[in-house]
Structure 1
Amino acid sequence: MPAQQPWIVPIPGTRRMSRLRENLGATTVDLSADERADLAALAARVVWQAIGTARRT
């Protein structure tokens, strides 16, 4: 996600240190332009209804 905008950062929102480490590891994953485009296309299909609630279209 940081590749899309410099102000986008992962927010783990976790209680366990092991999960925090796991989530922080996601910041080291390198995605190709095609992979980012695929993720963006999937994210565009999500219709947000309320904070924290989404449904797929």
Structure 2
Amino acid sequence: MWEQWRAWVVPNLGLIEIGMTFFLVIGFCVHQYWKMDRELKKDRAEREAREATERSDRED
């Protein structure tokens, strides 16, 4: 099946289309990584703020 797909698609794609697809996929992966990193940092900051508030409430 791969050979059939490759035999039909690859000759019909130019270098620009292959490059655009490659950069689109890489760009999407970078976007997802960056988005998840921001969410994790936000969650960590919220958790640390909540823990600091709880700590200060216990000390008072």
- Using the size of structure 1 for normalisation, the TM-score is 0.31
Higher-helix-fraction structure: 2
Higher-strand-fraction structure: 1
Higher relative contact order (CA 8 A, sep 6+): 1
Question: Which of the two has higher C-alpha Rg?
Answer: 2
- Using the size of structure 2 for normalisation, the TM-score is 0.29
